[in-house]
A and B are shown apart, each in its own frame.
Chain A
């Protein structure tokens, strides 16, 4: 079973690296959205430092959501997904492999580039470290919850807008705790509570989201 998991990860990663835009586009999107805010609001250092955590997190959330399409779309179009459903291995394991890859190609690059964006938003060094930790804990949650939504709309022709309606309300706890943790560490306050919550929520989603996603896939592919 673990072998299936690994080979699926390898296959999806190889596919992703053949279409480099799948990795780069969410990243560019993330950077551009963050850049828009100083232009739209003010280049003032204090204002940006105050709203920075929230902006970076909202941008990460949108980038992760908009890249969900890559999770199941091409496998759905060429029929691979149906073979997965028919295979003898548990669907939730295969779904988890696909979610892991989605995180590796969208969440992980965002974490790598986040110090740069933190710097241009005038966050302190502590806050940038916290930002990276919250992204490390939070972006997997985005991929896990997003997978449920994507599985529900994968069979629809124009699911994009609908997907955001389904998924964004469920992202709210991640946004609240993460941006608050970054803001608190800017102010020099303790942040362990927020991080514990994020970690707990991630484990919670890691356990249940693959099951819900495979149930949703079975409905979509009926």
Chain B
């Protein structure tokens, strides 16, 4: 029984790893992810912006949390995805993992940027300044630098195969370093930051605020899934452009458009 399940999983794994099947399966999955993401994000925004109660300390301005926190979660999650799929690509030589990693990078950088911008906007009413060298904000900024370095390296190496492998190594080195960087920044901050700008003690979050937060978080994840799959589909078409199945797919699709 267990053997059969494992054999089935391995089969699915290999099927997914073949660009042709991936293209087909991803094409079917994207609308599902996309629509669910839209529904969850709309529901989460309405719940977060209008239904969730006003915070007794921060007033209405805390509501930016429903974008800020999920974006920050995504920024770390996507880097983990990049490093994991980079490792998979290096170990098992699965090209598709490289495609996933490199398709993730710009989305991850965008989420990191979003987390930084919303954090800064939130900081203005809370701390009185646009920017505070707060440990988390600083770590997030360094994460953005790591993303930018990854993308710069990818675009600098002309051969896509070599670029993907170099980027995989960089992502793994980055993932090993992220906890070290994060904790050293946190430690640095506790020593440097005086009492002038003290961070508010966060009360453990109430259920009525947690629900929209989780809705938004899952919505962001599904949006990422849809976005990364459609970017990956594009990349697969580009890298496999000389194969017959691509010519068939492209011919078919453009035929439909013209017809």
Beta-carbon contacts of B128-152 to A below 8 Å, as 1s and 0s? 0000000000000010011011001
CA distance A156 to B157 in the complex (A): 7
Beta-carbon contacts of B207-241 to A below 8 Å, as 1s and 0s? 00000000000000000000000000000000000
CB of B149 within 8 A of CB of A165, answer yes
Contacts of A212 in B (CB 8 A): 169, 172-173
**Residue in B closest to A189 when the chains form the complex, CB atoms:** B191
CB of A152 within 8 A of CB of B184, answer no
Query: B181 at interface (Cβ–Cβ under 8 A)?
Result: yes
Query: A66 at interface (Cβ–Cβ under 8 A)?
Result: no
CB of B149 within 8 A of CB of A169, answer yes
Contacts of A162 in B (CB 8 A): 149, 152-153, 156
CB of A176 within 8 A of CB of B177, answer no
CB of B156 within 8 A of CB of A153, answer yes
Contacts of B172 in A (CB 8 A): 212
CA distance A156 to B146 in the complex (A): 19
Shortest beta-carbon distance, A80 to chain B, in Å? 20
Query: A180 at interface (Cβ–Cβ under 8 A)?
Result: yes
How many interface residues does chain B have, given as a range? 20 to 34
CA distance A148 to B146 in the complex (A): 14
CB of A169 within 8 A of CB of B142, answer yes
Q: Which of A155, A165, A177, A216 contacts B152 (CB 8 A)?
A: A165
How many cross-chain pairs have Cβ atoms below 8 Å apart between A and B?
Answer: 70
Contacts of A173 in B (CB 8 A): 177, 180-181, 184
CB of B169 within 8 A of CB of A216, answer yes
Query: A166 at interface (Cβ–Cβ under 8 A)?
Result: yes
Given contacts A172-B184, A219-B169, contact A180 B191 (CB under 8 A): yes
Interface residue SS majority, chain A? helix
Q: Which of B145, B153, B161 contacts A169 (CB 8 A)?
A: B145
Query: A6 at interface (Cβ–Cβ under 8 A)?
Result: no
**Residue in B closest to A209 when the chains form the complex, CB atoms:** B173
CB of A176 within 8 A of CB of B173, answer no
Q: Which of A153, A180, A222 contacts B153 (CB 8 A)?
A: A153
CA distance A134 to B166 in the complex (A): 31
CA distance A15 to B76 in the complex (A): 44
Query: A220 at interface (Cβ–Cβ under 8 A)?
Result: yes
Query: B35 at interface (Cβ–Cβ under 8 A)?
Result: no
CB of A176 within 8 A of CB of B166, answer no
**Residue in B closest to A197 when the chains form the complex, CB atoms:** B184
CB of B165 within 8 A of CB of A219, answer yes
Contacts of A172 in B (CB 8 A): 142, 181, 184-185
CB of B169 within 8 A of CB of A152, answer yes
Interface size on A, residues (CB 8 A): 26
Shortest beta-carbon distance, A71 to chain B, in Å? 16
Beta-carbon contacts of A166-184 to B below 8 Å, as 1s and 0s? 1011101100110010000
CA distance A152 to B153 in the complex (A): 8
Contacts of B166 in A (CB 8 A): 152, 216, 219-220
Shortest beta-carbon distance, A104 to chain B, in Å? 24
Query: B32 at interface (Cβ–Cβ under 8 A)?
Result: no
Shortest beta-carbon distance, A153 to chain B, in Å? 7
Query: B188 at interface (Cβ–Cβ under 8 A)?
Result: yes
Interfacial residues of chain A within 30-80, with CB under 8 A of chain B in the complex? none
CB of B146 within 8 A of CB of A159, answer no
CB of B162 within 8 A of CB of A220, answer yes
Query: B49 at interface (Cβ–Cβ under 8 A)?
Result: no
Query: A215 at interface (Cβ–Cβ under 8 A)?
Result: yes
**Residue in B closest to A166 when the chains form the complex, CB atoms:** B149
Interfacial residues of chain B within 157-173, with CB under 8 A of chain A in the complex? 157, 161-162, 165-166, 169-170, 172-173
Q: Which of A168, A170, A177, A197 contacts B173 (CB 8 A)?
A: A170
Query: B50 at interface (Cβ–Cβ under 8 A)?
Result: no
Contacts of B187 in A (CB 8 A): 176
Per CB-CB distance, the 9 closest pairs between chain A and chain B, nearest first, are A173-B184, A165-B149, A169-B145, A219-B165, A176-B188, A166-B149, A176-B184, A219-B166, A152-B166
Extra inter-chain contacts (11) besides given A156-B156, A170-B181, A212-B169, CB under 8 Å? A153-B153, A162-B156, A165-B152, A166-B149, A176-B184, A176-B187, A212-B172, A219-B165, A219-B169, A220-B162, A220-B166
Can you pick out 5 interface pairs between chain A and chain B where the beta carbons lie within 8 Å of each other? A153-B153, A169-B146, A170-B173, A212-B172, A219-B169
